[in-house]
C-alpha cells in the first residue's frame, strides 16, 4: 500500500487549536470486532523538572499533520489493530488541558496496549510538534524544537 493511502484501520488523525474530546476519539474506534481499546490522554501538568509550569504553547511544522498520518499508518500496518486514532492540540494550553489523545483497538488487550504505546512514543519522537513552556518564575523553554 502506498504511503499516502491510509489503511482502513486509521480512523481519526488531526491537529486542532480547539479543546480535544476523548469521547470523539473513542467513538471513532467503535466496532464489534475489537475486544480491547487502549487510550492515552496527555495533559498539561503544573510542573516539569522540579519547576512550576504556568502554561504552554504547542507549535506544529506545516508537515506535522502528514507526519502524524504516516505514524498512524505505520502503527496500523505493524500491529494487529482494528482501529487507530490520534489527535494533538496546538496553540495555547492551560494547566489540566488535554494536549494529545491516542487510542487503538484490537481483538485482544495486549495488541491494543502494544499499538498504543508505539503510537504515542513514535508520535513524540517523529512528529514535528514543539512545546514552549512558560514557568512560574517567568522563565521559559522550548522542548523538542530543532
Domain positions in the chain are 10-143
Q: pTM (2 decimals)?
A: 0.93
Q: Residue 4: name the closest of 48, 69, 51, 91 by CA.
A: 69
CATH of domain 10-143: 3.90.1170.40
Q: Which residue has cell 495533559?
A: 43
Question: Any idea what the Cα angle at residue 4 is, between residues 42 and 102, rounded to 5°?
Answer: 15
How long is the chain? 146
Q: What is the grid cell recorded at 55?
A: 502554561
pLDDT digits (tens, 9 = 90+) for 41-55: 999 999 998 999 999
Return the pLDDT at 1. Answer: 47
Q: What is the grid cell recorded at 124?
A: 513524540
pLDDT digits (tens, 9 = 90+) for 44-98: 999 998 999 999 999 999 999 999 999 999 999 999 999 999 999 999 999 999 9
The pLDDT of 132-140, averaged and rounded, is 95
DSSP H or E stretch at residue 48: strand 47-48
Amino acid at each position: 500500500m502506498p504511503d499516502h493511502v491510509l489503511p482502513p484501520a486509521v480512523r481519526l488523525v488531526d491537529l486542532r487549536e480547539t479543546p480535544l474530546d476523548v469521547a470523539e476519539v473513542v467513538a471513532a474506534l467503535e466496532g464489534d470486532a475489537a475486544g480491547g481499546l487502549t487510550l492515552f490522554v496527555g495533559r498539561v501538568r503544573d510542573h516539569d523538572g522540579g519547576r512550576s509550569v504556568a502554561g504552554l504553547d504547542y507549535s506544529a511544522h506545516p508537515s506535522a499533520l502528514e507526519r502524524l498520518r504516516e505514524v498512524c499508518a505505520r502503527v496500523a500496518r505493524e500491529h494487529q489493530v482494528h482501529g487507530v486514532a490520534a489527535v494533538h492540540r496546538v496553540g495555547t494550553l492551560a494547566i489540566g488541558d488535554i494536549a494529545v489523545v491516542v487510542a487503538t483497538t484490537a481483538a485482544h488487550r495486549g495488541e491494543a496496549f502494544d499499538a498504543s504505546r508505539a503510537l504515542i512514543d513514535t508520535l513524540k519522537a517523529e512528529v514535528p510538534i514543539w512545546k514552549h513552556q512558560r514557568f512560574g518564575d517567568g522563565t521559559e523553554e522550548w522542548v523538542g524544537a530543532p
